[in-house]
Structure 1
């Protein structure tokens, strides 16, 4: 008798696992909407169905997945629950991906695919929140899937500059990055570049292309991660005119100057020197007069003087006798740290 009961329980468990069904009604997924979610597992195949309803108009604004799950008896067993209580959901609020003030939705397929990706992944579909409901965006979905198809891939929504930024890793110090603008349900690539950190010296080399006048133009630049400088940063400040940030730092026995642009890329537009091999020709002159300090260097016919007083800091740029004074704010460190410092490209006057 016990054997028969055990066998019966086993067969019921097998049947249950092979034909598991569940359905939920969720009121806290997104403000102003009700989400119906149903899932069915049949012989290891998982089917899902999502329906989002506007609470005010009672209209269905998003429908995705196996629609038959909305009419089967499973729908009558739907339980009202909090979204956080559902462990294996494949839907979430992505954020405002097209910067129109409305949150958008992403849904992941249940099937894991390997289409030349670094590792198998679930394909994602992104739905844009419009006045007429949520509309699927194949273009933005493709950007998301392509980013996460690569090792270290990421998809970032940048609300400050209204950009989508994707990145991937090609090794310990090689990174690929792409910037996109988004209008409605369409994404347009603005730039694509690689950051090569294998180059000798404190800067990483940037090589890529960006959109200018509806054409992609090749460009090169440098990048610098200030957080990695730690005690090697000697003085730094932002320019009051908003153009960028001045950073004076050391690496080994060489003194460096970098001007980091104040834009979405934050590349280093000018470095002195740009490479260790150029250090001996990139001379700095340090002057100390009572409580005032100056650090001077030349690049071609342009003279730069970083000045520091007890109450101010800034940089003067002299181009053929025309001087621009870029005052600084938010000073970190001090030029007085150069008083007794020894670098192969530093002299004192």
Structure 2
């Protein structure tokens, strides 16, 4: 028996279209958020990426404040704060400030990027498989990307001064302790984060594999967001580890999973394919270590590099089509992962196409949610 449709939310990277600039990208983010609220999406999350010419979303806390001010009801959050690049106190103070300005609407998504390397590695050597109609490709190795000059430069510019970065569980524990008002310094001194202590934030952990992030989220009884759109080959490992490790907490009695997907919805399948062009070269630029290029126009995409060995898993797991076709694939992803929520991200060259894609999907999803009679 298929599941009843669950809430849909939006993840935005503030992509910079070719021929446009950062100001255009940021204004587009605000417009997309207002459209998401009108369409009935539950959450609007902002990603964090650095040293990418084609992505303007480098400071999620700043953008969250702007988005929350431009909307009135939709929850707004980070997907996710890269905790290894800042201190736990700065994260809590930033998001405590946001909660003070927009109480009860802020999600604090915590990512492991920049933290101490995980204790478990992504599985290797698997063959692609189809589970419940959803492609689970062979896991992609990010080893070359992490060792690229751009990532070394990022580590140099974003690295925290002083002692080695704590492990991820310690970072998450400190963030939660500061919010709850239970944290003590290494000398045993109780500390208060103002703003931040007592803030009405909803903490999440984001993860791409069955490693530290999933395990930490489960053991601490937090909500978990698994990234099918970033690492489709390991999404099932992520949700399985999270559920296996889950322990009830004061905030959450049972596991709660959100799963992300890249989608482009057009008026029909052919239209969607046309406006979706450009994704291959864009992913290629990221995964080869150069950093995201400004998102190409469809007519320019064919002349840009898009090595199948680098981009095939992302292209083959992107949901592109008319509203019915994309909603069917999202429903299948929900069924396969047991997701309690779904998070969609859409990148096209024309901003109007992103807004229309978002609207078309919301209308189809709402139609399926209605109770007959």
Question: What is the TM-score with the length of structure 1 in the denominator?
Answer: 0.21
Structure number with the bigger relative contact order (C-alpha 8 A, sep ≥ 6) is: 2
- State the structure with more CA Rg: 1
Normalized per residue, which structure has more helix? 2
TM-score (norm 2): 0.20
**Larger strand percent:** 1
